[in-house]
Amino acid sequence: MNKQQLPQEVLRLASQHQLGMFEKEYPGKPDDEFAYLVSGLLFTLLGLYCLISNDASAGGVLVILGLILSLPYFISFVHFSLRRRRRSYLYEHGLVLAKCQQKQIVAAETIHWRDIAIIWHQIISQGTGVTPTITHLYSLQRRNGSIFGESLGEEKITDAELGNRMERMALRYLFPEAVLTHQRGLPIPFGPLTIEPTGIKYEGQILPWHLFDSLEIDEKLVIRQREKGVWAKMSLAEIPNPALLRELTYHLADA
C-alpha cells in the first residue's frame, strides 16, 4: 500500500502528530491459529468417518484428539478474526491504530515514539513438540502512564514483526536518555533489575561490567556471568523496556 491509498483519517492523524514517512500497514490476521484449527478439524472429521465405518476405537481416539487440538485454537481464531477489523499503520516516527467497520475507520489512536516511556514485551509458548506456537505481546505505555490502544480496547499488539520494529524505533528516544542518566551517575531501574554505574544489580547482588557475559531474551530474561554461567533469570513480563535494557547493557559492558 502506498501513501495515496491510505485512508484520509490515517493521513490526517499522521500529519497532525508529525509521524513522518509511511512505512507499512499491518492488518490483524490469525494465520497460525487458522492452521491449527484446520488440523484439528481434519482429525475430528477423520474420527467421525471411522465411527461411521464401525471402527469405533480408532474413531473415538481421533475425535478426542481433534477436539483437543482444535478447541483452543477455535477460540483463538474467533478472537483474532474479530481483531481483523484492527489495522496498524507504521510510520517513521510513530503508529496509528485504527478500528474499522468494512472499509471505514470508526475510531483511531495515535502515538509518537518520543511519547513512549515503556514497552512491555511478553513471549508465550503454546503447544508441545518441535515447533510450539510462539506469541509475542507488546504494550506501549506513554509517559503520562496511559496505555496505547486503551480507547479502542486494543491494549496488546500481537504482531511480532511490528513489535520488533516498534522497539527499535523507540530506542532512538529511549537510549540517549538512558545513556545521559548513566553519565550523571544515577541508577536506571528495569523492574527487578537496576543498571548501576558499576554494573547490574539484582536481589542485592551486583554483577560488575567486566564480568558481564551475555543477556538473552526469550520467555525468560537470562543474564550470564563470564566463566560462571547463569547469574540471574526472571520472567520477561517483569522487565520494562527489555530491548533498551539489552542495548544499554552491551553498550556499557563494552565501554
Q: Residue 76: is its pLDDT beyond 60?
A: no
Residue-wise DSSP of 14-60: HHHTT--SEEEEEE---HHHHHHHHHHHHHHHHHHHHHHTT-HHHHH
**First-to-last C-alpha distance (Å) of the chain:** 42
Question: Burial, 187: exposed, middle or buried (Cβ in 10 Å; 0-12, 13-18, 19+)?
Answer: exposed
Question: Following DSSP, what letter does each residue of 91-153 receive, concatenated?
Answer: ETTEEEEEEEETTEEEEEEEEEGGGEEEEEEEEEEES-SSS-EEEEEEEEEETTSPBTTGGGT
* Cα(212)–Cα(231) distance, integer angstroms: 9
| Total residue count of the chain as it appears in this document | 255
So what's the pLDDT on residue 32? 44
Question: Average pLDDT for residues 19-47, to the nearest whole number?
Answer: 64
> How many angstroms separate the CA atoms of 216 and 242, rounded?
10
Which segments of 144-241 does DSSP mark as H helices, in order?
Answer: 160-183
Whether pLDDT at 187 is above 80 = yes
Residue 29's pLDDT band (boundaries 50, 70, 90)?
A: low
Under the banding of pLDDT at 50, 70 and 90, the label for residue 31 is: very low
Which pLDDT value is given to residue 149?
93
CATH of domain 3-27+84-159: 2.30.29
CA distance 88 to 85: 10
Looking at residue 253, its pLDDT comes to: 94
Most trustworthy range by pLDDT among 48-52, 53-57, 66-70, 151-155: 151-155
Tell me the three cell numbers of residue 64: 478426542
Q: What is the pLDDT of residue 30?
A: 47
Model pTM score: 0.77
CA distance 117 to 149: 15
pLDDT for the residue numbered 219? 84
pLDDT at 35: 47
* Cβ(39)–Cβ(47) below 8 Å: no
Q: Mean pLDDT over residues 85-113, rounded?
A: 89
What are the boundaries of each domain within the chain? Answer: 3-27+84-159, 32-81, 187-254
Of 119-133, 144-158, 191-205, give the lowest mean pLDDT range: 119-133
